[in-house]
Amino acid sequence: MVLSVTACTTSGGSAPVSDRYNPSERPPPYYVVSAGDTLFSIAWRYGFNVKGLATANKLAPPYTIYPGQALVLQESTRVIAAAAKPAPTKNKPSTSKARVTPSKPVAAAKVPIPKPAIKSIPAVLDSSEAWRWPISGPLVRSFVATGQEHKGIDIKGKMGEPVRAAKAGVVVYSGSGLVGYGNLLILKHSDRYLSAYGHNRRLLVKEGDSVKAGAVIAELGDSGTDSPKVHFEVRIDGKPVDPLRLLPRR
């Protein structure tokens, strides 16, 4: 993700800001964990599914990572064979008293593990709970499906007004380490659904907190932008979708 700033040449002029939120076009093969990173923030930065990234790095929930740790930046769609222990087989009791001569051990045949089919984003999205607008202000920038421009929506607001959780979830990232987002919160709503709230003045929840839909999670700000607003994103299986497909019409 890149925050592109073009400076004015005239004296006293302000620098217009162009927000660029989507992941890098070509992620490096490895990523070295920095202080403040979570696996969710790294997956968000490069557009990966968290479970796929965790499996590729042999990480189990709660996906604990450490500064200086090198992670391979790829998604795994295969099940790690070592994690699946075979169930013990039940031998039927023998009714014969004949002595059995032990045979030579036979090498187990290697059975290929099939790759699960990649799930496409459903036409009808999550309906288990209604989504809510994080603030009540007007939409000032829309989602862009193609290119590098804008993988969420911007909602105009007033400095310091409460930002609310669009859906119940758990805070999986709270910080300012992702370029272009300012002070950012990421909520996990299920194994597939994440939402993010950028440009906050102040973050009111921390990683690991459970929040209810409509709970106040931040104060609106303008970090890294030209006006007070919330940048709101939703991702399904790591991929950005238009939040307006989820939010109620108004």
**Model confidence pLDDT, tens digit, residues 56-106:** 999 999 999 999 999 999 998 653 333 334 444 444 444 444 444 444 444
Burial bucket for residue 207 (CB in 10 Å: 0-12, 13-18, 19+): middle
Phi and psi angles of residue 198, each rounded to the nearest 5 degrees, phi first: -110, 165
What's residue 134's pLDDT?
98
Burial bucket for residue 119 (CB in 10 Å: 0-12, 13-18, 19+): exposed
Q: 72 in helix, strand or coil?
A: strand
- Does the reported pTM lie above 0.75? no
What's residue 9's pLDDT?
33
Task: Look at residues 213, 209, 216, 207 and name the one whose alpha carbon lies nearest to residue 160.
Answer: 216
| pLDDT score of 2 more than 70 | no
Q: Strand 193-203 to strand 153-156: parallel, antiparallel, or no bridges (unpaired)?
A: unpaired
What's residue 223's pLDDT?
83
pLDDT band at 20; cut points 50, 70, 90:
very low
* Residue with tokens 């790591």, as numbered in its chain: 238
Task: Look at residues 19, 43, 20 and name the one whose alpha carbon lies nearest to residue 31.
Answer: 43
* Residue with tokens 């925050």, as numbered in its chain: 3
Distance CA 43, CA 55 (A): 12
Structure tokens of 59? 């990480």
- β-sheet bridge partners, residue 231: 154, 198
Distance CA 142, CA 145 (A): 10
Distance CA 45, CA 177 (A): 10
Distance CA 202, CA 171 (A): 15
Q: Are 6 and 16 in contact (CB under 8 A)?
A: yes
Between residues 156 and 114, which one has the greater pLDDT? 156
Q: Are 229 and 140 in contact (CB under 8 A)?
A: yes
Structure tokens of 121? 């984003």
What's residue 148's pLDDT?
57
Cis peptide preceding 248, ω within 30 of 0: no
**Model confidence pLDDT, tens digit, residues 198-245:** 999 999 999 999 999 999 999 999 987 789 999 999 999 999 999 999
